[in-house]
Amino acid sequence: MLQQFPRVISRIQRYDPGALRLVRGIHLTVAVLLAAVLADHLAAFLHSVPGFALAVVCAAAAAHVLLFTPISTRKRELGELVRFGAVLTLLTGIGAFIGTQAGASAPIVLQTIWIAVIALGFGLDGLGPFWLRTGRMISIFWLFVIMSSTPHSLGIWLPVMTFLGVSIAVCVRIGLWRPSASRTIQRVEAANRKALAEYLDLSARGCMRSEKESRAALHDLAGLRAELELAVALAGEESNVRALSPEAAAMIRLALEVVRNAVEALPEVARNTLIADRNYLDALENLVGLVRTGEAEGAVKPPDLTWARKEGQLRKQDVFQVLRIAQAFNRMRQLADGDAPIELAKHPSSPSEGRSGAWHRVSWRLALQASVAASAGYGIGHYLHLSHAYWITLTVIVVLCSSLGATIQKTLQRTLGTVVGFVVALLLEPVLSQLPEFRLILIVALLPPVIILFERNYGIAVGFISFLVLIGLEALTGLPVSEFWARLYDTMIGAGAGLAAAWLLFPKRSGAGARGLAGAYLTSCRNHLADDRYEADADQRTYSDLKKDARNLINAAQNYRAEQVPWASSARTGGDLDVLVVVLADYVILYRQARSAVRREVAGRPGQAAVEELLVRMDRRVLDEFDAALEHKAHAPAPGLAEEWLAAMPSPDTTDIGVMTDWVATLYYARKVVRCLEGLQQEHIWSAPSDLAGETAHG
């Protein structure tokens, strides 16, 4: 148990290694507390206005603009905060006017208008990322307009408190300390390097034999790489940043998996001989130090394979595995160099926001689904005489997404998370009610971690949010424990109403979209592979584009699976296929690099024509597999090609180790591309030929 403790701490640190989300959570907590305190003090001078209502509106405005503003540079965040603040202030101004004119009927009128606000908010979904977030924000925030107008409207103080809350949020988020871009990159890079070095040491020594352990480690590495990508994007125009690039981190991760697979593939005797060899261990320790720090201890030398040449007892397939390890070592040594400057990402402008044709991009279907689901949920709540029927409508807003599959996943996460949070709150409430000071400290202390979880694991975040809301309501309003059950009913009714609307009213299914993305992704991979010209810079740009396409395809495929098998989102069905999508781009790039290296190394040597003929045949084999995948047809492999390539492999006794490793890598990555394509055809999204299949011949 004690041995697991350091690993748990390490995983917690890797969850937010740059502290970007933690600082954002701290800013949100400070802004909310400051807004509530200032509003409450202001109410002391306004005897006709309840201080609690002012505090709630002010704190809610600060929280909403911070929650819906994504992590970015100060300049971009300032722009988003100001725009969000203007929208919220205008919204509450309209709400105050309507509430004042409605008089005693304000609560009923505002509740009725909420349906229209929700329809408007969801209709903005197609106008771009900013308006998508704006739509969700105004849909939720109208609830505070309703609450602050019960029993009487706050009038002009409603937009005033909104403006005050937004101003506080801007001052806190923009004015307070936040991690510098360069130091954030350094911290995230250090976390990446440490994790990569640990995986290398374990896998190269044959200590990572468990598939479950390997998957967990690779999942951590993928998360850290995404964090590094974000940190690089935040660096803006700083030109002096030199660190491990996200692309290099991804390639090292792939090389690590090669090492693990090759070590496992060796027979036990050969594996033990390798792991016991001093030359191998020295090379490994040197490489681990290079990966961990970016600087090697002593001279960096190619892996020494004299043990294999001396013994002469290895079969050719075992030599192949050893050379795979050597090739992976070479790749990591090149990629782990800490002196290489990284290419800083530029924030692209939003191409479609605010341009003509916006009317045609309004999501009428989603607006209809949202308004019908909210109306049905609100009606059910009043019919059942639930004390807080608005909770149902709030759940509808949260779970309803742009596609049926995403709505199913969000519904499951919301429902399960709420149930867990409810049970925990129910169990702890008797203890916390006796410790009011501790309860308040707990609520404040848990806000920053919730912000971290909100982006990383929505299901767990919902559990924490449900727990905090319930104990917070009990603390602020004296809500009895018996009322906790109603919150659970409200959530289930709202989730059911949202899911029913997404399923029955013009559902947007993901099958056609996923097939289109799949065809486009495979076509891009194929065309890049068919291009014989090799340029390192162009390869990096293409690699980055392919990874983005892969992520979009994975999201679409997950939504599709959620539609076909609703429990897929919780059981992670299809995870293996998602991995194949990601690594296909890796293998395409690596195969091109190895192929180019072999051509350079055999240029001008005897047998060059024979090698070139083999490379052409291998290319044809791989491209035919792409065509078969695009057309969803079985493809017969070229017989004897792998055997001929291995038979033509130069002898380890007479050939430079670099030539040997590139030779092995070419065959290995060609095999991996083919295996990925064969595995991907098992997914249902490939059940129909792609519309793009005919375009590959002309690229």
DSSP per position, 644-681: HHHHTSPPTTTS-HHHHHHHHHHHHHHHHHHHHHHHHT
Q: Which amino acid is at 580?
A: L
pLDDT at res. 69: 92
Q: What is the pLDDT of residues 283-319, one digit of tens each?
A: 888 888 888 888 755 554 555 555 545 445 567 677 7
**What is the chain's Cα-based Rg?**
29
Per-residue model confidence as pLDDT tens digits over 543-579: 777 877 877 777 777 766 666 655 444 434 445 566 6
Say how many C-beta atoms besides its own lie within 10 A of residue 295's C-beta. Answer: 12
**Looking at the structure, do residues 460 and 582 belong to the same domain, yes or no?**
no
Residue 601: which of 587, 615, 588 has the closest Cα? 615
Q: Quickly tell me which residue has 């919902």 as its tokens.
A: 462
Are 523 and 563 in a shared domain? Answer: yes
In a domain, 462, yes or no: yes
Average pLDDT along the chain: 78
Among the three residues 449, 484, 507, which one is the final residue of a domain in this structure?
507
Measured between alpha carbons, how far is 503 from 403 in angstroms, rounded to an integer? 9
Q: SS3 of 141, please?
A: helix
Of the listed ranges 296-305, 431-440, 442-451, 520-529, the one predicted with least confidence = 296-305
Separation between Cα atoms, residue 121 and residue 125, nearest integer Å: 7
Give residue-wise pLDDT tens across range 375-426.
998 888 888 877 677 788 888 998 888 888 788 888 888 888 888 888 888 8
The closest alpha carbon to 117, from 374, 359, 500, 492, belongs to 374
- Return the SS3 of 528: helix
Same-domain pairing of 127 and 253: no
Q: Do 144 and 293 fall within a single domain?
A: no
Question: Do the domain assignments include residue 11?
Answer: no
Does 688 score more than 70 pLDDT? Answer: no
Based on the fold, state whether residues 439 and 473 are members of the same structural domain: yes
pLDDT more than 90, % of the chain:
14
Least confident interval from 203-217, 328-342, 374-388, 523-537: 328-342
Which pLDDT score is estimated for 135?
Answer: 93
Query: What local confidence, expressed as pLDDT, does residue 569 receive?
Result: 44
The DSSP secondary-structure symbol of 234 reads T
The answer as to whether 202 is a domain residue is: yes
Number of domains in the chain: 4
Whether residues 502 and 517 share a domain: the answer is no
- The answer to the question of residue 13 being in a domain is no
Do 175 and 186 fall into the same domain?
A: no
Query: Which has the higher per-residue pLDDT, 638 or 426?
Result: 426
341 three-class SS: strand
Range of the domain at 672: 511-695
Would 353 be classed as within a structural domain? no
447 residue type, one letter: L
Contact 204, 96 (CB under 8 A): no
Query: Mean of the pLDDT values across residues 82-100?
Result: 94
Tell whether 536 is covered by a domain: yes
- Give the confidence band of 477 by pLDDT, cuts at 50, 70, 90: low
- With cut-offs at 50, 70 and 90, classify the pLDDT of residue 347: very low
Q: Do 447 and 531 reside in the same domain of the chain? A: no
CB 329 within 8 A of CB 303: yes
Q: Find, among 488, 491, 419, 417, the residue nearest to 457 by Cα.
A: 417
Which pLDDT belongs to residue 239? 47
- 626 and 541 housed in the same domain: yes
DSSP for residue 242: B
* Residues 164, 256 within the same domain: no
- Under the banding of pLDDT at 50, 70 and 90, the label for residue 14 is low
359 within a domain of the structure (yes/no): no
pLDDT at 689: 42
pLDDT interval class at 2 (50, 70, 90): very low
Q: How many CB atoms lie within 10 A of CB 548?
A: 11
- Last residue in a domain, options 320, 335, 350: 335
Same domain for 582 and 672? yes
Is 49 in the same domain as 185? no
What is the percentage of the chain residues whose pLDDT exceeds 70?
A: 77
Question: Is residue 252 within 8 Å of residue 291, measured between CB atoms?
Answer: yes
Write the CB contacts of 27 (distance below 8 Å, at least 6 apart in sequence): 66, 172, 173, 176, 178
Distance in angstroms (rounded) separating the CA atoms of residues 324 and 333:
14
Residue that terminates a domain, selected from 282, 317, 335: 335
pLDDT, greater one: 374 or 231: 374
In a domain, 1, yes or no: no
User: Closest Cα partner for 326 from 388, 266, 367?
Assistant: 266
